[in-house]
Structure 1
Amino acid sequence: MKRGAENVKTTAPVEVEKRSPPIDIKDADQTRVLCVLLTLNAVVSYRSVPRILELFKSKTNYAVSWIPHFTSVINWSLRLGLGCLTQVQAITKPWVAIIDHSIDIGTKKALVVLRVEVDTLSKRGAAVRLEDCECIGLTISEKVTGDTLYLEFEEIFNRAGKPLAIIKDRDATLNKGVRLWSNQQEVPVPTIDDIGHTIATALKAQFEKLDIYKRFTALISHGAKCMRQTELAFLKWFNKTGHF
């Protein structure tokens, strides 16, 4: 009997893998909308969104059946922006275009074109706000020339319509691209140089050879680098060229 008992092998109980219940499609859509609204309306970071949902789930009666990863929130927000760009159309009201290149990141530049209605400018009576602007063009390029900008302006303004005027800085490449596009129109579109860049360029031309100016810009540049990853990074500083 002992030998027979020894030959009997005992099997360990099989652990059944616990699977989370399937996600309801309606709940998933509500969660996606809430995540995007938190980033756009509450202006919180992408990484903060899952933490906020965890707080809702643990401390409130709000039913949160699914906590997405922050990278999913990024993708949903980007899809929303792309959807808005694909729906850009011409409007009947007069408007002006604000054009600028983003600060260089790596080897690429981002060209941004905003539309602001003239009525909004007159009613505001001050600097425009984010809600006053509509992004009608966004392109990413590694090589930027006047000719490439002309082609990009041609595509953007063919879709969004012709602006009453174009507001830009005094960048030479941007100036050439705008000039090439404007010269192709029946009536050239007037351009308005950004007052901040215009004054900064004039001041730089007047003072850039002075040692005190060089020390001043070097000090500002060093201070900006020190504050870049701190809680004061939102402050606006001079860049290396002396522009705001």
Structure 2
Amino acid sequence: MPIGKTGRWRLQGGGPPAASEATPVGAAQEPDAAARQQLRLPPPGHRHSLLVIQLTLQMFLGAGLGSRGVPRVLSLLAPWMPVSLPAHTTVLNWVYRCGLAILLQPPQRREDWIYIADHTLELGTSKCLVILGIPAARLLETGYSPSHRAMQVLAVKVTTHSTGEWVATVLREVAERTGVPVQIVADHGSDLHKGITLFRREQTTDCVETYDISHRIATLLKAELQPDARWQTFLAHCKRTLASFQQTDLAFLLPPRQRTKARFMHVDTHVEWAQNLLAYQERGDFSAVRPTCVLTVAAWDHLRDRLGVARVRPLHVLLGHRHPDKAAFCEAIQAASDLQLTDLDDAFWDLADTGRARFLEGFAWASALSRRSGDLCADDGTVQGHPERSQVRGTARRRLRIASIHTRSAHRARSASRPLYRPGLGTGRGTSRQDPARRNLAGVLRHHRIGVREIQNLHRTRPPRRSAGWCWRFPPSSPI
């Protein structure tokens, strides 16, 4: 049988009511024709009907449509509904009037109001102070995490010069309409903090000032991270990487841009990006960067050291050839030699994967910093995360050392105070054609594209100064 006066039914036997039993009590009646006709009429001073105004506000505020999107949706409904099409400026005027009506609506006078005050907008020399409010009794309903809909706008004030006295005056005006608040939440800005302090001194009841938790945590993070050299190095690498690899094949892995304001309130974005980048590197699948594979000299030397020269010699014809993917590369290796896939270990694939090499070109510093090392170079001079670069650079150092020995033996009669390497030697200029040792050394330098500064650093008695975490700076076009 039905219960109450709202037309709800009491179900007997757990099933739906029978047709003879379905007798609603106090069921809502349809609006009469006069009420429906009222919705189709425009209010005084307007050209559009109440129905159009109501649909426009619901689409703009509830559905998130823009001022130009609302008329387009109404044009789709026009064949089935008696609606007119307002201009986008009309939509904005209706929204502004609705917001002004809410702002001018007198709030309920209570003794448990909680204020949230902050400067939200800055346009030129003007600054906007907004005070939101919520009764303490409603915090339990919102789970102590109120949304924007749960808040009520109590004041919106614009000024060109915000001081503590002016903030205290605004708080007094709001308290006269709502009652003295029990709590005021702010970000401890100098003017806000002073204004709240002045307002609290004038009140007879207790009013608590609370430091906004998000700003408080950001302040603590700033004190912890700003003097940290590792964090500054991390941000510097992020900025340099973002500027160097825009619109490249590594664009989908780039870090987020650093904010100019409230930077330490968004630390989580950079930390989350770094964690995702390291997880991507640990998966080992760099086909999204570059799917090709190539048998490099370092990969061939690795197989030669493991399997012997006799088994690896047939692969010499594949040196430098690019293959579209890993499967095609495996087929080429099996066709050229008797090697099986089980003979190719992870270290070989790391050296043959062009996607991994490209990834390390842009993000080798990330894995190094994850090991809590402020320098990408190890103590032995090798580059962490770049085994192929370390190996080839070691070969270049050995050749330079041998060539320098021959050069010193050819010029042992000269004065020891005379500089061994003259400017321009790395490019071949300033060398003597009658000196085969110097021509040999110049050829080695041109082959490896090594400049004079690197040679001078190599023969210094003290270690060369490291710049930006690299122990040896090779030109970007260097095959190393």
Q: TM-score, normalised by structure 2?
A: 0.39
TM-aligned CA distance change 1:205 to 1:87, over 3 Å: same
8 Å contact kept, 2:111–2:179: no
Query: Could you tell me how far 1:215 is from its partner in structure 2?
Result: 5.8
Q: Deviations over 1:66-109 (max 9, x none)?
A: 21111111111111111112122342362211111114233322
Match of 1:123 among 138, 141, 146: 141
Query: Could you tell me how far 1:122 is from its partner in structure 2?
Result: 1.8
8 Å contact kept, 2:186–2:211: yes
Query: Could you tell me how far 1:240 is from its partner in structure 2?
Result: 2.8
Match of 1:28 among 32, 44, 49: 49
Match of 1:185 among 181, 203, 221: 203
Q: Deviations over 1:134-185 (max 9, x none)?
A: 1111112222111211111111221222211111112121111111111111
The equivalent residue for 1:176 is 194
Q: Deviations over 1:115-149 (max 9, x none)?
A: 11212212322421122111111112222111211
Which gives a bigger RCO, structure 1 or 2 (Cα 8 Å, sep 6+)? 1
% identical equivalent positions: 28
Is it true that 1:68 corresponds to 2:86 in the alignment?
yes
Match of 2:154 among 111, 115, 136: 136
8 Å contact kept, 1:38–1:44: yes
Q: Distance in 2 between matches of 1:55 and 1:155?
A: 47
8 Å contact kept, 1:39–1:46: yes
8 Å contact kept, 1:113–1:135: yes
Residues paired across the two proteins, number: 207
8 Å contact kept, 2:111–2:182: no
8 Å contact kept, 2:107–2:178: yes
TM-aligned CA distance change 1:214 to 1:151, over 3 Å: farther
The equivalent residue for 1:52 is 73
Q: Distance in 2 between matches of 1:86 and 1:71?
A: 22
Q: TM-score, normalised by structure 1?
A: 0.74
8 Å contact kept, 2:113–2:179: no
The equivalent residue for 2:63 is 42
RMSD (Å), alpha carbons? 2.8
Structure 2: segments with no counterpart, 5+ residues: 1-39, 247-255, 267-480
Q: Secondary structure at the match of 1:131?
A: coil
Larger % of strand: which?
1
8 Å contact kept, 2:130–2:155: yes
Q: Secondary structure at the match of 1:100?
A: strand
Instruction: Report the more deviating stretch, 172-181 or 85-94.
Output: 85-94
Q: Secondary structure at the match of 2:215?
A: helix
Q: Distance in 1 between matches of 2:58 and 2:139?
A: 27
The equivalent residue for 1:20 is none
Q: Distance in 2 between matches of 1:108 and 1:47?
A: 29
Letter in 2 for 1:200: A
Q: Deviations over 1:201-244 (max 9, x none)?
A: 11212322334444666758xx8xx9xxxxxxxx9x86534224
TM-aligned CA distance change 1:92 to 1:208, over 3 Å: same
Structure 1: segments with no counterpart, 5+ residues: 1-22, 227-234
8 Å contact kept, 1:50–1:70: yes
8 Å contact kept, 1:217–1:240: no
TM-aligned CA distance change 1:199 to 1:53, over 3 Å: same
8 Å contact kept, 2:114–2:181: yes
Query: Could you tell me how far 1:188 is from its partner in structure 2?
Result: 4.3
8 Å contact kept, 2:113–2:178: no
Query: Could you tell me how far 1:29 is from its partner in structure 2?
Result: 2.8
Q: Secondary structure at the match of 1:123?
A: coil
Is it true that 1:240 corresponds to 2:258 in the alignment?
no
Q: Distance in 2 between matches of 1:216 and 1:183?
A: 46
The equivalent residue for 2:114 is 96
